[in-house]
Chain A
Amino acid sequence: MLSRTAENLYWLARYVERAEYLARTIDATLRVTALPAAYIGKTNEWDSALLTAGVAASFYQTYEEANEHNVVDYLSFSADNPSSIRNCIEAARLNSRSVRTALTSEMWDTINSAWIELQAVWSKGTSTREDLAKFLRFVQETSLRFDGSAYRTMLRNDAYWFSRMGVHLERADNTARILDVKYHVLLPEEEHVGGPLDFYQWSSILRSVSALTAYHWVYRETLKPWLIADLLILNDTLPRSLASCYGNLVRNLDQIGVAYGRQGPAQRHARGIRNRLEHSNMNDIFQHGVHEFIQEFIADNSRLGEIITKQYLI
């Protein structure tokens, strides 16, 4: 396969995944901010939404205040924010156009139709909560359709594996960022864990990765920060956990290694990260510091992105 094609497929998958993640983040934030102040305390949820999206610095170059209107606008519709939902979908469509030959018609149809539909939203904006909710749902559904059509229609060859790699790398990054920011924001409250305040804060984390129900199935307990961290970091039955993402990344890279008859630094690096996740437990992680652990993970994960690029995509 052309290196450029692989690169486009990989980024296409990342953009679609990122758009969905942003939609989830906004959705979860809206829920929390809709609660009476007594339940959520003084933290600014919109600030933490910006932090998890990794765009706080650029946001404050344009806006004064992180309120609902500004943040929703910046994360969803802003043409200036390179990772706004709008730009993700635009970039996904541009990538799709340049690799149409590598996409199945179902995948192209999903992206192209979404792009057509969303252009109307860009021009009108969303004036009501209802519009916004509809928009966020649409973005999530687009990602579901895209994923589903890839899963159902693509040949299981390098094109598929490169695009799955994009999904898992991006997803690992998103999950890690959510955890990091929330732990950071919530840390001072740690001694009061168990109050209604924390309950809604923590449930918003789980919601943003759509794992609230999963949590109850796995732990059959009230929400506890270390269990939430355990679920999102180490539990490989949860598709968005770091462990699960890395199980998949290693598998995808191995499939490519076998198809091409050659392993390389990407395979080794991914395996290294997976092994570390496999051999960790929450005690060690807490001892080491959750924040430090996640920061290292984020760096390692983006390093894998660089290695993949060097080995296959250029």
Chain B
Amino acid sequence: MAIAFDEMNIPGGDLRPAYQELARWLKETPPEALEYRRQEAELLFRRIGITFAVYGEAESTERLIPFDVIPRIMSGKEWALLEKGLKQRVRALNMFLRDIYHGRDILRAEVVPDDLIFQNPVFRPEMNGQQVPHDVYVHIAGIDIVRVDAEDFIVLEDNARTPSGVSYMLENREIMMRLFPDLFARHKVAPVERYPDELLAALRSVAPQSASGEPTVALLTPGVYNSAYYEHSFLADKLGIELVEGRDLIVKNNEVFMRTTEGLKRVDVIYRRVDDDFLDPLTFRPDSVLGVPGLMSAYAAGNITLANAVGTGIADDKAIYSYMPDIVKFYLGEEPILKNVQTWRCREPKDLAYVLDNLGELVVKEVHGSGGYGMLIGPAATKATIEAFREKLKREPEGFIAQPTLALSTCPTCTASGLAPRHVDLRPFVLTGSKRTTIVPGGLTRVALKEGSLVVNSSQGGGTKDTWILDE
């Protein structure tokens, strides 16, 4: 594995320009002061209740995601490139989804194989020919980006269903500003606090035609036991909209209403944080109590906008991921600005053979997995695990893809033995409304806290950092 790109230091001892002020500050600040602030930050997180639930543990288990007080910094120029690439990618994602559920030009042109769509469990035939307002499918996208050298950003994953983490982007900034006002005074950090406003504007802009002049937006959550519940309530609060559960909603004459103390009130746009499968027991899983019976018929009648649209999973499926550069070219006729990680599709015999021969060097992921579950990290795995994966791959090759182990860039991070480089990724949030696509300058930086570890997922013990885009 190559030596990881260091976000702060140029090999040979020089600092990258964006980090100069931080380095100076770190030199002046005694380690005890950092440790003290770290503890203070943890206390704040716990008191505010910024927690996430861990599945498979007792219901009351609410964990803090560890927060690292050293910010990750990016220059304005780097960000500008990234922003352009993200907008391009999300535009293509939306066009792809519209096409898949309507004309299917891309399948006819044989850019993407048919069976990857039609035999995919996240493809929703219910959405065939269904009009969605303004043709926006992915209103909120979380694109996972890693960096391997000074020039290139690489997309690791497109999250087009119900991406989470944006509350951490906002809260991390709040807490940093509270704890390190002096550090902010020495930098010009682009603000992220407009995100809720941008999100609300985007959601309102995609209201169905039958909505009244002031469309009513609500956020649909699975409830307090969901791992991202904190985020749901946080966003509803910041947006000033109702946080509803399935039981608060009722469908009548193909319109959606919420039960209020003053009777039923119509809802026009639902920012849903409930997965497709659980949205409507009449259409999807009949055993779901999280959803709203009849929601899909209201959707089909054009009386409600769901954000993100139903069926967007097909665009962030890991099997489709490997086709993204072609998808961008096909719809936009442009070269993709953001690269993909080289990906072997185990469904293709040639790729499978290569993967089986090189398991020890590769990362193998389940096509439909998420959250860092069910993956093999070859270089870090035991022989037994590798052999177990070999059997799985042979049994069900179409269920997996493989990628080289990337040398994710590192960022200085507080550890028990002082500052040390740790691997990071970045999830910026891209918002698409009826007229424009916006990204607040920043995102969620996740950091692998264990030395050498490349797994940044919170469910696997990763932490987060504030992400600073310098306004130059």
- Let me know if B259 and A101 touch, CB within 8 A: no
Interface segment among A2-10, A37-45, A240-248: the answer is: A2-10
* Any B CB within 8 A of the CB of A312: yes
Interface size counted on chain B using CB atoms at 8 A: 22
Q: How far is the CA of A101 from the CA of B261 in the complex (A)?
A: 16
Output the least CB separation between A262 and chain B (Å).
8
Interface residues on A, range: 20 to 34
- Let me know if A97 and B229 touch, CB within 8 A: yes
Q: How far is the CA of A116 from the CA of B64 in the complex (A)?
A: 13
Residues of A within 8 A of B236 (CB): 101
Q: How far is the CA of A98 from the CA of B47 in the complex (A)?
A: 16
- Let me know if B224 and A94 touch, CB within 8 A: yes
Output the least CB separation between B460 and chain A (Å).
25
A84-125 vs B, CB cutoff 8 Å, 1 = contact: the mask equals 000000000010011011000100110011001000000000
Q: How far is the CA of A228 from the CA of B247 in the complex (A)?
A: 47
Identify which of A2, A98, A100, A112 contacts B258 (C-beta below 8 A). Answer: A2
* Any B CB within 8 A of the CB of A313: yes
Q: Which residues 200-258 of B sit at the A interface, judged by CB distance below 8 A?
A: 223-224, 229, 233-234, 236-237, 242-245, 247-248, 258
- Let me know if A1 and B233 touch, CB within 8 A: no
- Let me know if A4 and B233 touch, CB within 8 A: no
Residues of B within 8 A of A27 (CB): none
- Let me know if B49 and A6 touch, CB within 8 A: no
Residues of B within 8 A of A6 (CB): 261
- Let me know if B237 and A101 touch, CB within 8 A: yes
With contacts A4-B245, A108-B49, A112-B47 known, is A98 near B259, CB below 8 A?
A: no
Residues of A within 8 A of B237 (CB): 100-101
Q: Which residues 111-143 of A sit at the B interface, judged by CB distance below 8 A?
A: 112-113, 116
Max count, chain B CB within 10 A of own CB: residue among A101, A105, A314 = A101
- Let me know if B49 and A4 touch, CB within 8 A: no
Output the least CB separation between B252 and chain A (Å).
16
* Any A CB within 8 A of the CB of B182: no
* Any B CB within 8 A of the CB of A158: yes
- Let me know if B261 and A260 touch, CB within 8 A: yes
Q: How far is the CA of A1 from the CA of B237 in the complex (A)?
A: 13
Max count, chain B CB within 10 A of own CB: residue among A2, A98, A109, A313 = A2
- Let me know if A313 and B233 touch, CB within 8 A: no
Max count, chain A CB within 10 A of own CB: residue among B243, B258, B259 = B243
With contacts A2-B248, A3-B248, A260-B262 known, is A101 near B224, CB below 8 A?
A: no
Max count, chain B CB within 10 A of own CB: residue among A6, A97, A162, A313 = A97
- Let me know if A4 and B224 touch, CB within 8 A: no
Q: How far is the CA of A158 from the CA of B261 in the complex (A)?
A: 9
Residues of B within 8 A of A98 (CB): 223-224
Q: Which residues 156-179 of A sit at the B interface, judged by CB distance below 8 A?
A: 158, 162
- Let me know if B262 and A2 touch, CB within 8 A: no
Output the least CB separation between A304 and chain B (Å).
16
- Let me know if B46 and A2 touch, CB within 8 A: no
Residues of B within 8 A of A5 (CB): 242
Residues of B within 8 A of A1 (CB): 260-262
Identify which of A94, A97, A116 contacts B233 (C-beta below 8 A). Answer: A97
Output the least CB separation between A148 and chain B (Å).
18
Q: Enumerate the 8 nearest inter-chain pairs by beta-carbon distance, A residue then B residue, closest first.
A: A100-B233, A101-B237, A312-B261, A3-B259, A6-B261, A101-B236, A98-B224, A97-B224
Residues in chain B within 8 A of chain A (CB atoms)? 46-49, 223-224, 229, 233-234, 236-237, 242-245, 247-248, 258-262
Residues in chain A within 8 A of chain B (CB atoms)? 1-6, 94, 97-98, 100-101, 105, 108-109, 112-113, 116, 158, 162, 256, 260, 262, 312-314
9 contacts between A and B (CB under 8 A): A1-B262, A2-B242, A3-B261, A4-B247, A5-B242, A100-B234, A101-B233, A108-B49, A162-B261
